[in-house]
Amino acid sequence: MTGWIKSLAIIGFVAAALPVAAQDSGTAPDVASTLPLGESAGVPPGQPFEKEVFRDWRVVCVRSADAVETCNMQQLAVDSQGNPVAQMSVVPLAAEAAPRAAAVEVVAPLETLLSGDVRVQVDDGDERLYRFTFCNGEACFARFAFTATEIEALKAGGEAYIRIVPLVAPDQVATVTISLRGFTAAYDSLVPN
C-alpha cells in the first residue's frame, strides 16, 4: 500500500509539472520564479551557537540578521555533584578600552547573597572582589572588567576560583573551580584586530 501511495504522489507531482514544462518560454520563468527555494538549516539569527571548543572553554556566538557574529568565551562551573553553580564569560576588548582588557560576566544562582560579592582568584594569587550588577528571574549577574595583568595571570594559571556566599548560609562561602585549560587559545581567538 505504501508503494502505491508513493507512486501516486510521484505521478501527481509529474502531472502538475507537465503544464509548466509545456508552456512557451514566455511564461515558464514566471511560474518558475514562484517555486520556493531551500533555506539554510543553520542556526537562525539571534540564536546562540557553539562555534569552537578550546579544551575547557567554549566560544559561543550569536549571528545577526546581516551575518555579523558576536562571540564570547565561557565555561560553566559545576559542584561536586555536577550541578551548575556559576558561569564565567569573557570577551576581549579593543586596545582603546585600556586599562580594561576584557569584559567579564559571572552568573550565579538566584539564592546568592549579593552583598557577599563575587571573589575571583587565580591559583594562589590575590583574590579580587567584584560587585553583583543585577538579578533577573533566573540568575544574578556580576559584570566587570579584567585588566591586561589579570588576563595574563589567567593565561599562565591552572585554575581560577569563583567564590560566592549562599543566601541561606551567609556565614559560608561556596567555591567553584574554573579550569584555565584552553583559556589562552579561546581568548586569543577572540582578540579584536
Domain ranges of the chain: 2-32, 48-190
Measured distance CA(154)–CA(159) in Å, rounded: 8
What CATH number does the domain located at 48-190 have?
Answer: 2.60.40.1880
Reduce the secondary structure of 7-28 to three states and give it as a string: HHHHHHHHHHHHHHHHCCCCCH
- The pTM of this model reads 0.77
Spatial contact of 87 and 107, defined as CB atoms under 8 Å apart:
yes
Q: Is 108 within 8 Å of 174 (Cβ atoms)?
A: no
Instruction: Provide the residue-wise pLDDT of the chain in tens; the chain has 193 residues.
Output: 444 333 333 333 333 433 444 444 455 557 777 777 765 667 788 999 999 999 999 999 999 999 899 999 999 998 888 889 999 999 999 999 999 999 999 999 999 999 999 999 999 999 999 999 999 999 999 999 999 999 999 999 999 999 999 999 999 999 999 999 999 999 999 998 7
